[in-house]
Amino acid sequence: MTKRFVFVISDRTGITAEALGHSLLSQFPSVDFKTETLPFVDNELKANKVAEQINQIIKEKGSAPLIFATIVDDDIRKIIADCDAVFFDLFDTFIGPLEAALGIDSSHSVGQSHGVTDLNEYSSRISAVNYSMATDDGVEVDHYQSADIIAIGVSRTGKTPTCLYLSLHYGLFAANYPLIEDDLKSGKLPDSLAAHQDKLFGLTIEPFRLQQIRQERYNRDSYASAKQCQWEVAQAEALYRKYKLPFINTTQMSIEEIGTTIMHKAGLKRKI
Amino acid sequence: MTKRFVFVISDRTGITAEALGHSLLSQFPSVDFKTETLPFVDNELKANKVAEQINQIIKEKGSAPLIFATIVDDDIRKIIADCDAVFFDLFDTFIGPLEAALGIDSSHSVGQSHGVTDLNEYSSRISAVNYSMATDDGVEVDHYQSADIIAIGVSRTGKTPTCLYLSLHYGLFAANYPLIEDDLKSGKLPDSLAAHQDKLFGLTIEPFRLQQIRQERYNRDSYASAKQCQWEVAQAEALYRKYKLPFINTTQMSIEEIGTTIMHKAGLKRKI
């Protein structure tokens, strides 16, 4: 396997450059990328230190590293661009064409993207996170009237992280409720859920995968047995179908995918 | 204020395109952008429907919308690119140069970026989220030996969402502990924290902002008073200085910035 060094360099957090860099590199599965993120490179002194570090790699390893950068300041960007590396500027590549399309100059100011100045937006976000924490795992069901969405499913289908993701990134009031043995046996939605059917979204998973996940942490006989996992999943899916609830199979999905898929299918819009 | 329609179009979640699009647009503060994200545009049928929707905008509004896209499939991309819009392909722009730099073709496969196949990585992530949930707000202090980082600060400085962000996105075991009146009065770290000084990271905030945040939800006299906020912040900062703890002022920072800044300053690496 080829090995290749990659630097993600940003004048702020590097989150955006990291995500797009990762997305691009995932298209080259035969290369073993060693990625290092260098955030907050926001003055020439820091940029020169980074440039030294990069030029050292070339001397030692022989091959030019890749650089994915989002740097607003022209002078700082030039220092990085002048390194002996393959330079991709994710920001500058588009800002010129964008200025042309809009017919105005960009402000060229750093830290507009992930910064916070709006107290309302900040508070909405925190309220959503607090709501999702407070309503995690079926508690506080009497607060479901405030929910934007209520994720339901058997234990270990990804409900908790999905709800936290939805609240943290989209400001949604996302509650979750675990379908326990009694619910599954009864074949009926519990009263606390039946009153909010329009907000329910089911998660399901391949029984084999569920068993893997459960065994990893709780190797209790019945809870993680193949038979139990198969039964729980079958009962949960029967429940979703009976009440015509939307549901998705999370087996091959990341938390981000589960979250955005739920929003897409439920027609929810971001609140922040 | 100029108004401009923007579409973020992706064959998967659209998270990456949304982030870079937002970052680019934030450089044009005088334009009122109306952004709509259209995720999971993964076949020609869906692409044609999207194209219709976009072409309709031009007829109605007169000005061409902007499109930020990450679409791997050439045929689908062509349908979107042929719309009467200003098209920025965040993915395709770089994939050619990247193929040239690496000397190999890209796999051109959809959904490599945010998908999940690795059970270990998935489990690490869930474990980190569960840890941060369980150790939120100063509970389970006897589990601090497992922590990668322990965020401390007075109430409403952003500890909880920051720790959830660190666990969800970087797989870090991030605990948080609220400095309460007794801790602040004593001028000493509580025993549960004193044993883990190398993991502590302080959050602070401008008293005025703290007061705003507290008043918004809890308009109790003392808790949200200017005097109380000033006193708490001063005591907390004195504590950080006394114990030489690293700390940051979160007043102007988003959760993402607080999280990545802590990682950067504490020298923490992502675990997923």
Q: What is the 3-state secondary structure (H, E, C) of chain B?
A: CEEEEEEEEECCCCHHHHHHHHHHHCCCCCEEEEEEEECCCCCHHHHHHHHHHHHHHHHHHCCCCEEEEECCCHHHHHHHHCCCCEEEECCHHHHHHHHHHHCCCCCCCCCCCCCCCCHHHHHHHHHHHHHHHHCHHHCCHHHHHHCCEEEEECCCCCHHHHHHHHHHHHCCCEEEEECCHHHHHHCCCCHHHHCCHHHEEEEECCHHHHHHHHHHHCCCCCCCCHHHHHHHHHHHHHHHHHCCCCEEECCCCCHHHHHHHHHHHHCCCCCC
Question: All domains of chain B, ordered by start, with CATH?
Answer: 2-102 (3.40.50), 119-266 (3.40.50)
Other CB atoms within 10 Å distance of the CB of residue A109: 12
B109 interface with A at CB cutoff 8 Å: yes
User: How is residue B199 written in tokens?
Assistant: 């993991």
B268 interface with A at CB cutoff 8 Å: no
From chain A, pick out residues whose CB is under 8 angstroms from the CB of B126: 158, 160-161, 213
- Run of H or E including A1: none
Task: Give the pLDDT of residue B107.
Answer: 86
B225 interface with A at CB cutoff 8 Å: no
B178 interface with A at CB cutoff 8 Å: no
User: How is residue A1 written in tokens?
Assistant: 């396997």
The arrangement of strands across the sheet holding B174-178 comes to B174-178, B149-153, B200-204, B247-249
User: How is residue B224 written in tokens?
Assistant: 């949200």
Task: Give the pLDDT of residue A161.
Answer: 96
Average pLDDT over chain B reads: 92
In tens, the pLDDT along A7-27 reads 999 999 999 999 999 989 999
Task: Give the pLDDT of residue B59.
Answer: 86
**Does residue B1 register a pLDDT over 70?**
no
From chain B, pick out residues whose CB is under 8 angstroms from the CB of A254: 114-116, 122
User: How is residue A212 written in tokens?
Assistant: 């893997």
What letter would DSSP give residue A114? S
What confidence tier does A114 reach under pLDDT thresholds 50, 70, 90?
low
User: How is residue B6 written in tokens?
Assistant: 């923007």
B168 to A161: CB separation less than 8 angstroms, yes or no: yes
Residue pair B175/B132 in contact (Cβ under 8 Å)? The answer is: yes
CA of B162 vs chain A CAs: smallest distance (Å) = 10
A23 to B91: CB separation less than 8 angstroms, yes or no: yes
Cα–Cα distances in Å, from B4 out to A20, B25, B64, B201?
24, 11, 8, 42
Task: Give the pLDDT of residue B3.
Answer: 84
In tens, the pLDDT along A138-156 reads 999 999 999 999 999 999 9
CA of B239 vs chain A CAs: smallest distance (Å) = 26
Task: Give the pLDDT of residue A226.
Answer: 93
* Cβ contacts of B209-212, under 8 Å, gap ≥ 24: B209/A119, B209/B251, B210/B154, B210/B156, B210/B157, B212/A119
C-alpha span between A252 and A120 (Å, rounded)? 36
CA dihedral A103→A108→A109→A112, nearest 10 degrees, is 50
Query: pTM here?
Result: 0.92
Mean pLDDT of B164-191: 97
CA A256 to chain centre: 4
B176 interface with A at CB cutoff 8 Å: no
From chain B, pick out residues whose CB is under 8 angstroms from the CB of A101: 64, 66, 86
Task: Give the pLDDT of residue A115.
Answer: 52
C-alpha span between A68 and A21 (Å, rounded)? 6
In tens, the pLDDT along A53-84 reads 999 988 888 888 999 999 999 999 999 999 98
B218 interface with A at CB cutoff 8 Å: no
Cα–Cα distances in Å, from A33 out to A66, A108, A248?
9, 31, 32
Among A161-165, B106-110, B176-180, B218-222, which stretch is predicted with the lowest mean pLDDT?
Answer: B218-222
CB neighbour list of residue A158: distance below 8 Å, 6 or more residues apart: A203, A205, A250, A253, A255, A258, B126
Between A129 and A117, name the one with better pLDDT.
Answer: A129
From chain B, pick out residues whose CB is under 8 angstroms from the CB of A114: 254, 256-257
In tens, the pLDDT along A191-240 reads 999 999 999 999 999 999 999 999 887 766 688 899 999 999 999 999 99
What confidence tier does B115 reach under pLDDT thresholds 50, 70, 90?
low
Other CB atoms within 10 Å distance of the CB of residue A58: 15
**Does residue B149 register a pLDDT over 90?**
yes
